[in-house]
């Protein structure tokens, strides 16, 4: 089964970080987004408000084409950087988008606690869908 591909990103503290910091025993949701995408903004707002229900899920929010300043602005606007189950940043290369063949944003890849891929959502999904999907695992 598919595991999380390796990646390097520049996080909101301007520090290079890799997939190695993802906690081993948590489900993971990789969200590929664009700061200016309306659907991404709605998702970030919803997820931020629902984080209490999703505190056991580790989120990786990544963007590629946008400057770090816009990534930081997005994180700040939706209070994403306040959560300790959240990694957010700008990818250093195009590895992830090409691995997943991403066409739309937000794209989500959901992994279980063993970090095996369970499902991808080509155009994102809601908090409740993620919560119930991961409960079944």
pLDDT digits (tens, 9 = 90+) for 4-62: 999 999 999 999 999 999 999 999 999 999 999 999 999 999 999 999 999 999 999 99
Contact predicate 89/62, CB 8 Å:
yes
Count of CA atoms in the C-beta half-sphere (13 A) of 91: 21
For residue 119, the model assigns a pLDDT of 96
Would you give the end-to-end CA distance of the chain in angstroms? 15
The tokens for 60 are 């990786």
Q: Which residues pair with 90 in a beta bridge?
A: 10, 63
- Per-residue DSSP letter, 102: -
């Amino acid at each position: 089964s598919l595991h999380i591909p390796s990646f390097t990103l520049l996080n909101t503290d301007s520090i290079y970080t890799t997939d190695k910091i993802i906690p081993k025993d948590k489900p993971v949701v990789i969200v590929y987004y664009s700061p200016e995408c309306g659907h991404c903004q709605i998702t970030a707002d919803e997820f931020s408000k629902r984080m209490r229900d999703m505190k056991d899920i580790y989120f990786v929010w990544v963007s590629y084409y946008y400057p770090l300043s816009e990534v930081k602005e997005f994180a700040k606007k939706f209070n994403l950087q306040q959560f300790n189950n959240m990694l957010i940043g700008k990818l250093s290369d195009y590895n992830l988008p090409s691995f997943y063949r991403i066409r739309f944003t937000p794209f989500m890849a959901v992994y279980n606690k063993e970090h095996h891929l369970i499902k991808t959502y080509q155009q994102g999904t809601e908090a409740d869908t993620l919560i119930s999907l991961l409960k079944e695992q």
